Chains A and B, each alone.
Chain A
Amino acid sequence: MNELLTLTGLGLFSMIAEIFNFRKAIFPVIVLGLLGLLGLCYMDWGSYNSTVTHFSMMKVDNFSIAFTSVLTATALFWFMMSRSFFEDQTSMSDHFSLVLFALTGAFCLTSFTNITMLFLGVEVLSLPVYVLTGSRKRDVASNEASFKYFLMGSFASAVFLFGTAFIYGATGSFNLENIATYLSTQPQLSPLFLVGLLLMLSAMAFKVGAAPFHFWTPDVYEGAPTIVTAFMSTIVKTAAVAAFFRLFYLSFSGIHGEYADIIWAMAALTMVVGNVIAAAQNNVKRILAYSSVGHAGFMLITILVMNDFAAKSLLYYTAAYSAAGIAAFLVLYLVGSANNGETPLNAFDGLVKRNPIMAGTMTMALLSMAGIPPLAGFFAKYFIFVSAVENGYIGLVVIAILSSLVGVYYYFKIIIAMFFGKPDNLPTYFLTPIHRFLLLFVAAIIVLTGLFPDFVMGLMTI
């Protein structure tokens, strides 16, 4: 509850701050507020595990606290990274308040116990992101991305509601606990329920960006301003996957056999499609967009396995992926803003000579995403594979390993360009202190979470 109030209050503050000429105060207040939110998470951690609040709408348990911490830390990095981008624009406070409201939605998505709250969270998260995607008003690509995302997203929301209606019709409840009880007492599942389950599964897969519902991802990620893409591929993805996991963990885990094959196929398809198509791209932004589709596939494996260890490894995976994503997109943004917003592969040629910090952190982030030990991404994949093998999904793990090998290929394409490309007529970069600090800090996080994986995993113990 306190977390929700803090986020909403921050959002409202930054919305009206510009009117009262507090423009200078917005950024420090947001940073302090988010730090305070992390403090609240720390205090709440482990303290109330089973209290369902708000008329059985929300439960702030360790799952939600752990994911909220990851989201808040990512948001903190995101604000540090995007300050310079939005300061040039007239409506900085609008953008910041939209992001904070999206975070409020993300918090709802990690702590719901009721489908109503899940839907509210999805909408509160998505609507600001639709607007943010189109925040370069004069850019046709940005407008197109925003419009596409809005149309597809509202369609997915409609499918979600349709599924909810079917499930309500079958079980008579929106409450996840009641649905789980209904499922455990029912000898024969009503076909109505299965239709609802399938519709909800599709809608959540859309929000996560899993194949075959991934078609919006590359276009929207490419068209949106790079800063917003960073937000979408880290925070929105983490929140959506956490919600997906929580929904299935709390209510549908009793009938795991009914949908396991679908998620198996979806995860395999997502990993293969994301990684193979990414290998064929020449634009770094599109490579990262398709790779984020591939990462969604790895995250889906945890929903297939569905036990406590899977929840822990999902947390670790999202944390590792968010850190790497923030670093990679920050470098991408810096490279793109010196190059008219274009990010072809040859814009990275010889980056190591032009700015070693940027090239070093980018290499770190890409190696982590590729899953090279001892970086965070390696253990993230390792834990997911272990949990999958323990539950007998060896075939899926083979597919996952093969597709992450394809991933190594295209991540190294960027790294090779950075280290061995010839930097003819390309600008050198001068980092602002805040960006330099952020790059070094995130690189340190990627290494440290790789060296001490137990710390992040331990956040989840109940």
Chain B
Amino acid sequence: MILLQSLNSSRDFLPILLMFIVAAGFVSFVMVVTQWLGPKHKSKVKADSFECGIEQIGNARSPFSIKYFLVAILFVLFDVEVIFMYPWAVNFKSLGAIGMFEMFTFIAFLLIGFFYILKKGALKWD
């Protein structure tokens, strides 16, 4: 499949241009309409930043414990790796036994990584 040989006249890009116009138009339309229709009440409470409904205390730029970052990074890591299982599950039948074995290898790697993290104490909070 050669994508770009059929796309050499500018007419072929017309749908994309239309899409751009519609997208930009919708955004500006909605912004103008909300400004125009919406009621305006300005108060200190309204201008405050929303923090779970609790009154905010102090500055937002205070140092956080590095542990939060570690947990967040590890979460993202494992979360992303689980995504690989969706395309695998969809193609499970056509991949056959080899596909299953490959996924077991993958999960084994993942588990070794998880084990390493646990033993290194990356998830210990104290």
Contacts and interface: CB of A to CB of B under 8 A. Distances in A.
Interface in B67-126: 109, 112, 115-116, 119-120
A192 B115 contact: no
A439 interface: no
Contact of B112 (A16, A170, A171): A16
Interface in B1-39: 1-4
A113 B115 CA distance: 34
Contacts of B1: 172
Contacts of B119: 16, 19
A172 B3 contact: yes
Interface of A (DSSP majority class): helix
B3 A15 contact: no
Interface string A13-27: 001100100000000
B116 A16 contact: yes
Interface residues of A, number: 10
A9 to B, nearest CB: 11
B4 A16 contact: no
Interface SS majority for chain B: helix
Contact of B116 (A15, A169, A170, A192): A15
A137 to B, nearest CB: 13
Nearest to B5: A190
Contact of A192 (B4, B109, B112, B120): B4
A180 interface: no
Contacts of B112: 12, 15-16
A20 B4 CA distance: 56
B110 to A, nearest CB: 12
A171 B3 CA distance: 8
Nearest to A8: B109
Instruction: Give the residue among B4, B109, B119 with the most A Cβ atoms within 10 A.
Output: B4
Nearest to B7: A169
Nearest to B1: A172
A172 B116 contact: no
A169 B115 contact: no
Nearest to B8: A190
A169 B112 CA distance: 38
A19 B116 contact: yes
Interface string A410-452: 0000000000000000000000000000000000000000000
A433 to B, nearest CB: 33
Given A15-B116, A19-B120, A171-B2, 10 more contacts: A15-B112, A19-B115, A19-B116, A19-B119, A169-B3, A169-B4, A170-B4, A172-B2, A172-B3, A192-B4
10 contacts: A12-B112, A15-B112, A16-B112, A16-B115, A16-B119, A19-B116, A19-B120, A169-B3, A172-B2, A192-B4
